[in-house]
Chains A and B, each alone.
Chain A
Amino acid sequence: MKRVIYFSLSIFVLASCQKNMTSLNINPEAPSVVPSSTLVTQAEFNMASTASSSNVNLNIFRLIQQYWTETTYTDESNYNLATRSIPDNWWNAWYRDVLNNLQQARVFARKDITDAGTLANDTAIIDILQCYAYFNLVTTFGNIPYSQALNPENTFPKYDDAKTVYYDIISRLGKDAAALNPSAGSWGNADILYNGSPAAWAKFAYSLQLKMGALIGDSDPTESKSVMEAAAPHVFASNADNATFSFQSSPPYTNPIWVDLVQSGRTDFVATTTVIGIMTPLNDPRIPNYFTTDANNSYSGGIPGKGNNYPAFSHAGTAIVAPTFPGDLLDYAETRFYLAEGAARGFNMGAATAEQNYDSAITASIEFWGGTASDAATYLAQPTVAYTTATGTWQQKIGTQLYIALYNRGWDSWTEYRQLNYPTLVAPPTALSVFPQRFLYPSKEENVNTANYNAASAAIGGDKVGTKLWFDKN
């Protein structure tokens, strides 16, 4: 009997080794607190990676904009957004991978940044980055969760009116730019884009404001004018101001185009007849940087939406597909195009005329892509390019050149195209829908945030790709 007691007792002793049970539920291998700067670096990488990506599951704007078309699997070139759940992936990339990491950085910065001046700059930079992300979302989808977003306690965020969100972003950018203090510290090298420079971030904020102001030129000329005129004196002044993200030479932080086009070994994309047809007659000096030559040592493209034989056509240029090719989020060249737009609309964009801005924009773009000032001058001297003699309205001239300049910026190209409507992009005859004026809402939103989704869908005029967004009046 004693032995039984001993045996039983020993079990009870073993069984009672459960002091403070809940402490076992603290993961010893994952931190509950991280330095705020680590989240900023991650968010900037995610932002640059999403914007630069050529992954057919995520960023298909180069295809929609007919810079590239697909070789074998032509779904996305024909506007099939559903089979790969592209709207879900785009939405998640911005909300979850960009905005939420910035939001977490915002929270942690309040704890780990002790200097008030630095914290003010840090917070302003985070806010500018968040504005950039929201600008993308609101211009992609229409109404989006905004005032109730980024709060996991509220699992059913309502959608806010797109225009209201848009104007709020413009206003936030102004406040952020004003809050930046060049003499105080900030993120330093955790900020891959500008090494923490408050002055550079102020220029970025104003340039983004300018871009946003330009985009509402048709829908709200008054607001467009006031936003653009206020921002214009403070925007990017040279290519040195460009918001370019330096990717690294080895995984996982390489340029995503290298991952998709080189590392994968795949040959999914070729140039299109559309872009080659625009650039070749203009003798565009950027074409060797944009594209490789084809088998005949010239430039050619496949027909958008059709299957295309990879070896027969030009492909993405060798510079773009390098692992360290920088990700461009906002640049000087486009800024000058927006100034040109403003001037063409009769806004006060400073001393430069529409033509001068147009010339500067093209020159900046050519130089950005490795050309020289004289290349640019030669190019501009052509009557087909020169502002005064090029074909069409200012929308057509600027639209065409902006389209060329935004070659590696598919989403931006698509966004500008929706207002300017130039150059004309013809939907492939095999397209599954009309040209996408917006993205469908993610199917997950339909399934899990149903009531708010339904309200948003009704508010924007139906969750269809053909529904034009509020800023798109033509």
Chain B
Amino acid sequence: MRKLLTLFAVAMLFSVLAIAQTKTLSGKITDAKGQPVPFATVRIKGTKAGVSADADGNYSIKVSPSQTLIVTGAGMAPTEVVAPDAPTFNITVAMKDASMTEVVVTALGIRRSKNELPYSVQRIGGDEVSKERSGNFITNMEGKVSGVTINQANTLGGSTNVILRGYKSALGDNQALFVIDGVPIDNTNTTSINQVPGTQGTQSSGLGGYDYGNAAADINPDDIASISVLKGAAASALYGERGFNGVIIITTKKGRKGLGITVNGGVTTGAIDKSTFAKYQHTYGANYGSANGYGSPDGNFLYFDVLGNGTNDLVTPTTEDASWGAKFDPNLMVYQWEAFDKTSSTYHKATPWVAAQHDPTTFWTKPFSYNGSVFIEGGNDKSTFTAGYTRNSDRGILPNSQILKDMVNTSGTLNITDKLTAGASINFTNISGLGRYGTGYASNNEATNFREWWEMNVDIQDLKNAYSRTHQNTTWNWKNVQDETNGLVPIYWNNPYYDRYESYETDGRSRYFGNVYLNYKPTEYLNFLGRVSLDNYSELQQERYAVGSVGVPYYSRFNHTFQEYNYDFLANFDKNISNDFNLKALIGTNLRQDLDNSIYGITNGGLVLPHLFTLSNSINTPNAPYERYTNIQVGGVFAGATLSWRKMLTLDGTVRRDQSSTLPAGHNSYYYPAVSGSFVFSELLKSQNWLSYGKIRANYATVGHSANAYGVYDTYNLNPPFGTNAVASATATKNNIGLVPEKNRSYEFGVEASVLQSRLGFDVTYYHALTYNQIMPVQISDATGYDARWLNAGSIQNQGFEVSVNGTPVKTHNFSWDITVNWTRNRNKVVALYDTATNLQIAAFQGNVTLNATKGQPYGTIRGNDFIYTNGQRTVSNDPNNNPGYYETTSTSNNVIGNANPDWLGSITNTFRYKNWTLNFLIDARKGGQLFSLDMYYGLATGLYPETAGKNDLGNPVRNSIANGGGIIYKGVTPDGKANTQRVDISDLFGAYGYLRNPAKAFVYDAGFVKLREAALSYSLPAKVVGKLGQNVFKGIDVSVIGRNLWIIHKNLPYADPEEIVTSGNAALGYQVGAYPTARTFAFNLKLRF
């Protein structure tokens, strides 16, 4: 097995470190349940020597056998043990209370025992997010923390929406801040639309583009020791404006004495969950209904002489991307799309008119990922060191899609003197994407094609073969089969395989982030920290649209660099000022600078040569590229103090002042305070044995927020010249010189307690947050000459409950069963809007549907046209001149037809341990919330789904003519209130079930679900077995099988996953278009610890 080591180049480094070791004792500190106890201190009795255990409870110390070790830590009884004469030694300590003694990392990286905290913080262990081996650890947080909503589009490597405690800002990004080891890192969600300044938002409203993912996906999950989620403003005030939406603090693994090597290897594969993709009818084929008269006697087919033999033939209307055509009949011989492909075996041959053997379900490929990582940690008395390397490869459910990720990180600390410590860490990530999925309503989103516009006679495998044969855009959607010279080009849809293999995008992002710091601790109670951190990435996104495709071929490139610098200085004071009182105090400064620089160029009017993707291959001279440069600076000073009495009462206060470059002079600095307190009431009830621990807490905080860059002074767009004339235009968004800082004011109450020897614990929080003076580009009447204007526009209130419960119903020596429940209920309400406004339009979608924030209503109401109701029932017209038998609909489109906000979110995790086996599964639910589905709006109209080809009340096919017993009676009443009895004939024209004959309201669906999100079975090889495999080689071997998105137990949205979003961003709420199916995946992982 030692050979394994040599596989890794880094191992060389280690042998050097290893030589320095003599007698090192290492092991794990666990509680009585076998759960790791993080960050305990291990000291050698009678000496100054001591080390800290890591987040997993691992420690390593140089010690002579028979010396006594003292283990101390938050919430535990100090434990003394004698060091054995052995290399490993696990220490079990007695906890005062297992659930309340977690050490969590709070703002600015300060570690505090959870029982002292006056605000809500929830911790997730690094293992919990890294074990699934997926490329983006954020999605693995789903269902593991209360108060958090995580949404990820099903696109490969797509971005993730992380919302803590509801949408606070009507048009801000609302995304939580990610902080790694005290260093905020950029988490921009990049999409195609960000490439061109001034067009933000349209992609999340469902227009086309690519989703390049969010930058926090650059974090190596294997490097994460733990994650703390600071949900409220009080917890995050010290991060300034960026803590506004909550903070996700990531602590990376730290080196420790001794040497540890962890090697992980895993593969993941799966298949789409068929309940999240279209189910098709297989009875009727191509066209929009015979009433259109395609030429054949029955009106369903084109009718011309294909072979020139004097006989007219039946030919599929290839331009008609719907399935409202002729009933399939194997005896009917039809010239179909392949009959016009010279390379096809059925060229100029009629084939039976039957449903395709392979519908688009077979287009999706099996996703496959592999992941390998090695992580090394080590150290001695003076220094510590870590290094890690992870490689991740993900292939998605679309052909020719792959994301490769390489992540390297290293960190070290050096004790220069007893009082002075220096440290540094650097992370390097390289992501390269190929063939990301198109999003939204676009020809490069195959899901749009398959869900909305398809012919059921087209076999997807035939298209695959046609592409393989010709490498041309040989499509089912020929423009004109009557003209084989010029007409054999695609009209609306490309061959999906041609799209995937010829019009692929590529992208790459190289990023490094890290920090250097110097920590000086002149006395036990005083500490100074100076830190410089940087986050720097550059990316290149190249989009291609091949010659031969529908429309105008193009190539575009977007070069973007981002740099963020943070300069921090912190002074910390921590002293017991009397036997009863402890005082912690802090002052600090922070200067943040964000530099964002990009250039976007695109060809003009098409490409000269096929297969050549470069700007110089443009048919017309390319227009000047779009350039963007922003430089944002925010300077802050802050101070805080925490006074605690007998570990029972804690009072905490902070204040911060920020000055931002993006606000007008005079209004660009703002102060905000926070105060919080907690009371550990169980200290007074020590006689009550049933109560293990109890605390109440309360806090109040305000946070300020500045504007985006360039929202203050008006500028103009310079456009390509018109001949020799210079051309300029006004911007679509009007700026505002009168902006003032946005503010958030919140308070929170919480109770946490555990009872029955900590077998049952709970944490309940009520929070209330009001965001006011919101800065946003408000959609205004275009009669002003502008689409939008930057305004301090309104106040949104969020209030809710978060509940976490954990229990241990069964606990024996070999077996335990733990349950964790998280439940969140958020209610938001638009309290006030600017001026006399009563409604903000957040986004406008195709289908004349809008997402809104209406005064007095929740943020995220869906508006559109509705049925007209008579006595509460849908009204059906009986006016012979106005579509009799069909629904009457409103001509107005501002009727509230849905609300995108869920009623509550909940999850239950069950964990069973038997000896070395662990089985856990997570069930995750969302109750309520609605979405408008453009896929159903169109797909039901074009007759793709089974409900358009079912039986009517008479038991006959609905698509039969009335004379043949078909037709349908729309459910509802006529305007006079009588039940509608008029049967309408839908045999020959499409649209009866879709958008043509129904208002937008008909396509609003409940977005609730219950899912078996995750199930994992792990096995740790017993120490005896591990020892036999190689004495002194392995410290542990773990094997696990993890299934994800295993089963949607319940949902009401047909043919799609209600969680699927277009891309992240507020507008993504409540709207689905071109939804990709969800992949059900299984991962196999092997973890070796040396």
- Please tell me if A369 contacts chain B, counting CB pairs below 8 Å: no
- Please tell me if A281 contacts chain B, counting CB pairs below 8 Å: no
A250-B620, A432-B996, A465-B891 known; A11-B568 Cβ under 8 A? yes
- Please tell me if A156 contacts chain B, counting CB pairs below 8 Å: yes
A256 to chain B, nearest CB (A): 14
Across the interface, do B729 and A446 meet the contact criterion of CB distance under 8 Å?
A: no
Bits for B889-910, please: 1 = Cβ < 8 Å to A, else 0.
0011110000000000000000
A15-B591, A41-B727, A156-B835 known; A21-B661 Cβ under 8 A? yes
Across the interface, do B785 and A25 meet the contact criterion of CB distance under 8 Å?
A: no
- Please tell me if B294 contacts chain A, counting CB pairs below 8 Å: yes
Bits for A176-217, please: 1 = Cβ < 8 Å to B, else 0.
000000000000011010000000000000000000000000
- Please tell me if B1029 contacts chain A, counting CB pairs below 8 Å: no
Across the interface, do A34 and B718 meet the contact criterion of CB distance under 8 Å?
A: yes
Across the interface, do B730 and A144 meet the contact criterion of CB distance under 8 Å?
A: no
A38-B725, A72-B288, A95-B782 known; A21-B668 Cβ under 8 A? yes
Tell me the residues in window 260-306 of chain A with beta carbons closer than 8 Å to chain B beta carbons: 263-267, 295, 303, 306
Across the interface, do B714 and A32 meet the contact criterion of CB distance under 8 Å?
A: yes
Q: Report Cα–Cα, A338/B569, bound state, in Å.
A: 79
Which of B288, B786, B894 contacts A307, CB < 8 Å?
A: B288
Across the interface, do A463 and B891 meet the contact criterion of CB distance under 8 Å?
A: yes
Residues of B contacting A307 with CB < 8 Å?
Answer: 287-289, 292-294, 320
Which of B785, B837, B844 contacts A156, CB < 8 Å?
A: B837
A25-B709, A100-B785 known; A263-B552 Cβ under 8 A? yes
- Please tell me if B509 contacts chain A, counting CB pairs below 8 Å: no
A439 to chain B, nearest CB (A): 11
Residues of A contacting B631 with CB < 8 Å?
Answer: 24
A31-B716, A84-B846 known; A150-B487 Cβ under 8 A? no
Tell me the residues in window 1-55 of chain A with beta carbons closer than 8 Å to chain B beta carbons: 1, 3-4, 7-8, 11-12, 14-15, 18, 21-22, 24-35, 37-39, 41-42, 45
- Please tell me if B720 contacts chain A, counting CB pairs below 8 Å: yes
- Please tell me if B784 contacts chain A, counting CB pairs below 8 Å: yes
Q: Report Cα–Cα, A75/B722, bound state, in Å.
A: 35
Looking at B294, B490, B633, B732, which has the most chain A CB atoms within 10 Å of its CB? Answer: B633
Q: Which residue of B lies closest to A8 (CB)?
A: B530
- Please tell me if A80 contacts chain B, counting CB pairs below 8 Å: yes
- Please tell me if B863 contacts chain A, counting CB pairs below 8 Å: yes
A307-B288, A447-B850 known; A38-B727 Cβ under 8 A? yes
Across the interface, do A21 and B522 meet the contact criterion of CB distance under 8 Å?
A: no
- Please tell me if A440 contacts chain B, counting CB pairs below 8 Å: yes
Looking at A71, A156, A434, which has the most chain B CB atoms within 10 Å of its CB? Answer: A156
Residues of B contacting A248 with CB < 8 Å?
Answer: 722-723
- Please tell me if B538 contacts chain A, counting CB pairs below 8 Å: no
Q: Which residue of B lies closest to A30 (CB)?
A: B715
- Tell me if A's interface is mostly helix, strand, loop or mixed: loop
- Please tell me if B148 contacts chain A, counting CB pairs below 8 Å: no
Q: Report Cα–Cα, A157/B781, bound state, in Å.
A: 8
Across the interface, do A85 and B848 meet the contact criterion of CB distance under 8 Å?
A: yes
A31-B718, A267-B319, A448-B840 known; A308-B483 Cβ under 8 A? no
Across the interface, do A265 and B852 meet the contact criterion of CB distance under 8 Å?
A: no
Interface-facing stretch out of A309-317, A373-381, A408-416:
A309-317
- Please tell me if B623 contacts chain A, counting CB pairs below 8 Å: yes
Across the interface, do B844 and A85 meet the contact criterion of CB distance under 8 Å?
A: yes
Q: Report Cα–Cα, A351/B693, bound state, in Å.
A: 104
Q: Report Cα–Cα, A163/B461, bound state, in Å.
A: 62
Across the interface, do B528 and A8 meet the contact criterion of CB distance under 8 Å?
A: yes
Q: Report Cα–Cα, A306/B840, bound state, in Å.
A: 39
- Please tell me if B836 contacts chain A, counting CB pairs below 8 Å: yes
Residues of B contacting A433 with CB < 8 Å?
Answer: 882
Q: Report Cα–Cα, A6/B564, bound state, in Å.
A: 23
- Please tell me if B1021 contacts chain A, counting CB pairs below 8 Å: no
Which of B620, B623, B630, B779 contacts A448, CB < 8 Å?
A: B779
Residues of A contacting B552 with CB < 8 Å?
Answer: 263-264
Q: Which residue of A lies closest to B841 (CB)?
A: A447
Across the interface, do B661 and A432 meet the contact criterion of CB distance under 8 Å?
A: no
- Please tell me if A372 contacts chain B, counting CB pairs below 8 Å: no
A11-B532, A34-B718, A442-B782 known; A430-B989 Cβ under 8 A? yes
- Please tell me if B357 contacts chain A, counting CB pairs below 8 Å: no
Which of B319, B734, B848 contacts A72, CB < 8 Å?
A: B319
- Please tell me if B583 contacts chain A, counting CB pairs below 8 Å: no
Which of A15, A41, A72, A83 contacts B995, CB < 8 Å?
A: A83
Q: How many B residues are at the interface, by size bracket?
A: 35 or more
Which of B321, B635, B712, B728 contacts A35, CB < 8 Å?
A: B728
Residues of B contacting A28 with CB < 8 Å?
Answer: 629
Across the interface, do B480 and A448 meet the contact criterion of CB distance under 8 Å?
A: no
A72-B320, A308-B292, A311-B483 known; A12-B783 Cβ under 8 A? no
Residues of A contacting B850 with CB < 8 Å?
Answer: 443-444, 447
- Please tell me if B268 contacts chain A, counting CB pairs below 8 Å: no
Residues of B contacting A32 with CB < 8 Å?
Answer: 713-716
Q: Which residue of B lies closest to A306 (CB)?
A: B292
A247 to chain B, nearest CB (A): 10
Tell me the residues in window 367-402 of chain A with beta carbons closer than 8 Å to chain B beta carbons: none
Across the interface, do A25 and B784 meet the contact criterion of CB distance under 8 Å?
A: no
Residues of B contacting A306 with CB < 8 Å?
Answer: 291-293
Which of A29, A97, A252, A430 contacts B628, CB < 8 Å?
A: A29
A41-B725, A101-B730, A156-B837 known; A145-B783 Cβ under 8 A? yes
- Please tell me if B380 contacts chain A, counting CB pairs below 8 Å: no
Q: Report Cα–Cα, A84/B668, bound state, in Å.
A: 42
Q: Report Cα–Cα, A149/B782, bound state, in Å.
A: 9
Q: Report Cα–Cα, A154/B834, bound state, in Å.
A: 12
Looking at A104, A434, A445, which has the most chain B CB atoms within 10 Å of its CB? Answer: A104
Across the interface, do B479 and A265 meet the contact criterion of CB distance under 8 Å?
A: yes
- Please tell me if A449 contacts chain B, counting CB pairs below 8 Å: yes
Across the interface, do B629 and A12 meet the contact criterion of CB distance under 8 Å?
A: no
Q: Which residue of B lies closest to A103 (CB)?
A: B785
Across the interface, do B839 and A447 meet the contact criterion of CB distance under 8 Å?
A: yes
- Please tell me if B332 contacts chain A, counting CB pairs below 8 Å: no
- Please tell me if B404 contacts chain A, counting CB pairs below 8 Å: no
Tell me the residues in window 198-222 of chain B with beta carbons closer than 8 Å to chain A beta carbons: none
Looking at B569, B716, B723, which has the most chain A CB atoms within 10 Å of its CB? Answer: B716
Which of B604, B606, B786 contacts A152, CB < 8 Å?
A: B786
Residues of B contacting A149 with CB < 8 Å?
Answer: 783-785
- Please tell me if A155 contacts chain B, counting CB pairs below 8 Å: yes
Across the interface, do B865 and A24 meet the contact criterion of CB distance under 8 Å?
A: no
Across the interface, do A26 and B668 meet the contact criterion of CB distance under 8 Å?
A: no
Which of B293, B632, B728, B996 contacts A38, CB < 8 Å?
A: B728
Residues of B contacting A35 with CB < 8 Å?
Answer: 726, 728
Which of A96, A150, A189 contacts B732, CB < 8 Å?
A: A96
Residues of B contacting A403 with CB < 8 Å?
Answer: none
Name 25 interchain pairs, CB-CB below 8 A, sorted by A: A11-B532, A11-B567, A18-B661, A21-B633, A21-B635, A25-B709, A30-B715, A32-B713, A38-B718, A82-B847, A85-B844, A85-B848, A91-B782, A92-B787, A101-B730, A151-B784, A151-B785, A263-B552, A311-B480, A430-B291, A444-B841, A446-B893, A447-B839, A448-B837, A464-B891
Q: Which residues of B are at the interface with A, using a C-beta cutoff of 8 A?
A: 287-289, 291-295, 302, 317, 319-321, 420, 479-480, 482-483, 487, 489-492, 518, 520, 522, 528, 530-532, 550-552, 567-569, 589, 591, 604-606, 619-621, 623, 627-633, 635, 659-665, 668, 709-710, 712-720, 722-730, 732, 734, 778-787, 789, 791, 834-841, 844, 846-848, 850, 852, 863, 865, 882-883, 891-894, 989, 995-996
Q: Which residues of A are at the interface with B, using a C-beta cutoff of 8 A?
A: 1, 3-4, 7-8, 11-12, 14-15, 18, 21-22, 24-35, 37-39, 41-42, 45, 71-72, 74-75, 80, 82-85, 88, 91-92, 95-97, 99-101, 103-104, 144-145, 148-152, 154-157, 189-190, 192, 248, 250-253, 263-267, 295, 303, 306-312, 430, 432-434, 440, 442-452, 463-465
Told that A152-B785, A250-B621 touch, could you supply 6 new A-B pairs with CB distance under 8 A? A38-B725, A154-B784, A157-B784, A253-B720, A443-B894, A447-B852
